[in-house]
Amino acid sequence: MKKPGDMESLLIASTEELQSLQRRIGSGEDDDPGLRSAIAMCLAAHSALRDSLASTQPGEPTEVILARHRRRWRGRLFQWAVFVPLILIGIVLLGVVIFTLVTSFIWRG
């Protein structure tokens, strides 16, 4: 039998509730083809959306993303372990050279 709240619950019911409503309406004497087709349409929409979301997969596989991240980190690590110390040594050496030149000019003077 169709109940007074069936029309309202059509909009907010879960799929399980919709399916049980569909069964109840289909089997009762008070069959309502309009409500039945509305329920069928809501269920079809739900399953279409579910399939659509399921088919939307991440653009790249997890392994590729992780491999890229690790490569970047190795690059940064290499940068900090090799280039930064080299630059620091270069700056220190440059300082020493400038200091030596300046002091040698001063001593000569």
Partner 1 sequence: MTSTGSVGTGTSALVDNTARFSIVERLLEQWRDGDSDARDQLLVEVHPILYRWALANAINVDDADDIAQKALITVYRKLHQFRGDSSIAAWMYRITTRIALQRHRKRARRKTLDTYARSELGGRVYTTDPGGRVDRDRLTALVREFYDELPRQQRAAITLVDFDGHSPAEAATLMGLNPVTLRANLFKARASIRRRVLAIDPVLAERFANLPEPTDDEADRKITSGKNEADR
Of 23-31, 57-65, 82-90, 92-100, the window that binds partner 1 (rule: CB under 8 A) is 57-65
Query: Minimum distance between the CB of residue 61 and partner 1, rounded to whole angstroms?
Result: 8
- Report the nearest approach of partner 1 to the CB of residue 83 (Å): 23
CA-CA distance, 10 to 58, in Å (whole number)? 33
Under rule CB under 8 A, how many of the chain's residues touch partner 1?
34
Q: Look at the alpha carbons of 20, 26, 29, 35 in this order and tell me if their dihedral is positive or negative.
A: positive
- Number of Cβ atoms within 10 Å of the Cβ of 38: 16
Cβ at position 16, least distance to partner 1 in Å: 7
59 binds partner 1 (CB under 8 A): yes
Q: Which residue has the tokens 């083809």?
A: 33
CB of 81 to partner 1, least distance (A): 19
Q: Please report which helix (H) or strand (E) contains residue 95, including its range.
A: helix 84-108
Q: Choose between 29 and 63: whose C-beta lies nearer to partner 1.
A: 63
Q: Which residue lies nearer to partner 1 by CB, 58 or 109?
A: 58
Burial class (CB in 10 A: 0-12, 13-18, 19+), 21: buried
